[in-house]
Amino acid sequence: MNGNVRLPEREALWPLAVIALLLVLQFSMIFTRSINWDEFYWNYEIEAFVKGGVSRPLQTLHARLFSWLPGRPGNAVDHIVLARCFMFACEIASLCFIAGIARRFTGRANACLCALAYLSAGYVLQHGFSLRSDPMVTAALTGGLYVLARRKITALSVLCFGLLAGSAPLITIKCILYLPAFAALFWLRLSESGRSIAAPGRLALYPAAAVIGFAVIYLVHSATMPAAALIASTGGDAAASAAKASGAMIGASVRAMFFIGAPPYLPMMIKSASISPAFAVLLLLSPIAIWRITLTRPEKLALSGLLSVILTLFVYRNSAAYYYVFVLAPVAAALGPSLSLARKRVPVWALSTIFLVFALLVFAKEDRTVIARQRQTLDAVHRIFPDPVAYFDHNGMIGDFHKMNLLMTPWGMEQYRASRENSYRSAMQSRPVPLLLENDALLTEVMTGDRPAGILSAADVAALRGNYLRYWGPVWIAGKRVPGSVPSVRAEFLVPGDYKVVGSPLRVDGSVYDPGSIVPIDRGIHELSTQEDRDTLLLWADAAEPPSAHPPRGDLFVGF
């Protein structure tokens, strides 16, 4: 134990029992927790991958793993719940790896407490099973760290390391943020090899295996992507297209990854500490505890390397709540020394109880009503549009339809403003977009607010407000309202197709149509006038009757 007093093995049963309880509670959250916006986007990307609409191999390995999801019974919520079960398994693997890494530096009870500290952290409890890159890449990277920290250099361990570390960049390129942890453990292994001449060469097998593993997985993944077949069928070079798409993605991601100054998600950092105070206290104690405990200098450096990953919160831009699933894993593995200090005053059972209590507080505050509203909304969309259509929304919530706008996240809106283009109007001019789903406050402000300036361009706001009418709750469809109080109006239609007259007879470009009539409308300016002194509607004819049930009241997403 390197200087620590070995306590009875049965003390590890306390944190193990709490871990088991929390895993049972967290498993229930798979089915009751609101689907987050980017979980819907991940599902949308899976759908696009299967249809050949994704050409970059990097950051799309999840799409291959879940390519069986499209076509399954149910809507996007049901698909995501199934995928969450796999992510839950990834989290369990991460817990095992965290305990295994910690065991290299501390006793069994402390190692189990490290895993418990991770699982009970508020944001991990809420997002550890989410359909995102974080649970997957955390399992892969902590697995690689475990192999490097604990396993002898054998053909099997090198192969496992190559597969785990090599697959990480294909999940997300933010895996590079673990480099200090890997470098520190590599230095530990090198320092423990003494003066062996062969040791550096044998250890070099690990990074070599990671590079080879990445290359093999990348080549196989890119060559067998549905998009590669589509590109090849049109006479294009699939490999060159994949490389170009990956290069563009890397360039855009690197430019957006880091920041200088105040953390953009500082409130979430504060909230994370407030809902996980035990973890926060152990984290603050760790630098002192690591250098006070009886360990070799390389061991202390290794623990410091694991702990240093937390500093990425001050340089990595996209460090929202779900990022803590990724960033806290190596940090938790380094909490052994601070737990040893804590255990001088607090027994293992009490520490386990403390972690449990704060986790239960987070669990108790879960809003379990939102996921039902999400299901109801998606069911309504599929009822109104039985066949897929193009649409606008915040995050790709309707996975099997074709999203026509960028993600309306802070990063996506930065891209929108930087382009200086009226991309919504351009999208409407490229193909009919009969649906708009108002599933975010940004879209609510655009469609109903008085001051949308700064969200979208004036041309895009005018295009959206002038071509869609609210149909059912957050569902807007292509349409026009013709006021009966004016003789006639000249209106621009950006969604060409068949429209149905609702209300009173309507004159369109000189021809009169009775209520219920279908009017073919081309893209462009049309003259409209009502035949009676009341408003008349032109609604997208292919939209089915809306559900008879009232639209859901309340938000479609929960905040962080």
Q: Calculate what percentage of the chain has a pLDDT beyond 90.
A: 72
Rg of the chain over Cα atoms, rounded to whole angstroms, equals: 28
How confident is residue 229, by pLDDT bands cut at 50, 70 and 90? low
Beta bridge partners of 524: 493
How confident is residue 7, by pLDDT bands cut at 50, 70 and 90? very low
Q: Choose between 385 and 197: higher pLDDT.
A: 385
Q: Calculate what percentage of the chain has a pLDDT beyond 70.
A: 92
Q: What is the pLDDT of residues 451-492, one digit of tens each?
A: 776 789 999 999 999 999 999 999 999 999 999 877 888 999
CB of 129 within 8 A of CB of 36? no
* Burial class of residue 551 in the structure, from the number of CB atoms within 10 Å of its CB (0-12 exposed, 13-18 middle, 19+ buried): middle
Q: What is the pLDDT of residue 558?
A: 87
Pairing of strands 390-392, 435-437: parallel
Q: Choose between 530 and 254: higher pLDDT.
A: 530
Q: pTM for the complete prediction?
A: 0.89
CB of 145 within 8 A of CB of 330? yes
Question: What's the mean pLDDT when you consider all of the chain?
Answer: 90
Q: What mean pLDDT comes out for the span 312-335?
A: 94
CB of 143 within 8 A of CB of 160? yes
Q: What is the pLDDT of residue 218?
A: 92
Q: What is the pLDDT of residue 10?
A: 83
How confident is residue 255, by pLDDT bands cut at 50, 70 and 90? low
* Burial class of residue 420 in the structure, from the number of CB atoms within 10 Å of its CB (0-12 exposed, 13-18 middle, 19+ buried): exposed
Q: What is the pLDDT of residue 1?
A: 41
Torsion angle of alpha carbons 329, 332, 333, 334, nearest 10°? 130
Which of 63-67, 141-145, 221-225, 319-323 has the lowest average pLDDT? Answer: 221-225
Domain boundaries, the chain: 9-364, 370-540
Which DSSP letter does residue 238 get? Answer: H
Q: What mean pLDDT comes out for the span 298-305?
A: 95
Which DSSP letter does residue 316 get? Answer: B
CB of 389 within 8 A of CB of 475? no
Q: What is the pLDDT of residue 411?
A: 80
**Whether pLDDT at 381 is above 80:** yes
**Whether pLDDT at 513 is above 80:** yes
Q: Choose between 291 and 143: higher pLDDT.
A: 143
Q: What is the pLDDT of residues 54-79, one digit of tens each?
A: 777 888 888 889 999 998 899 999 99
**DSSP annotation string for 56-123:** --TT-HHHHHTTTSTTSSS-HHHHHHHHHHHHHHHHHHHHHHHHHHHHTTS-HHHHHHHHHHHHHSHH
**Whether pLDDT at 296 is above 50:** yes
Give CA–CA dist 390/424, Å, rounded: 12
Q: What is the pLDDT of residue 413?
A: 86
Q: What type of residue sits at position 553? A: R
How confident is residue 2, by pLDDT bands cut at 50, 70 and 90? very low
Which DSSP letter does residue 543 get? Answer: P
**Whether pLDDT at 177 is above 60:** yes
Q: What is the pLDDT of residue 355?
A: 97
- Taking CA atoms, 251 is separated from 139, 255, 262, 412, in Å, by 26, 6, 23, 15
- First-residue to last-residue Cα distance in the chain: 40
CB of 537 within 8 A of CB of 471? no
Among 324, 387, 336, 442, residue whose Cα is nearest residue 109: 336
| Lookup: tokens for 151 | 């396993």
3-state secondary structure at position 260: coil
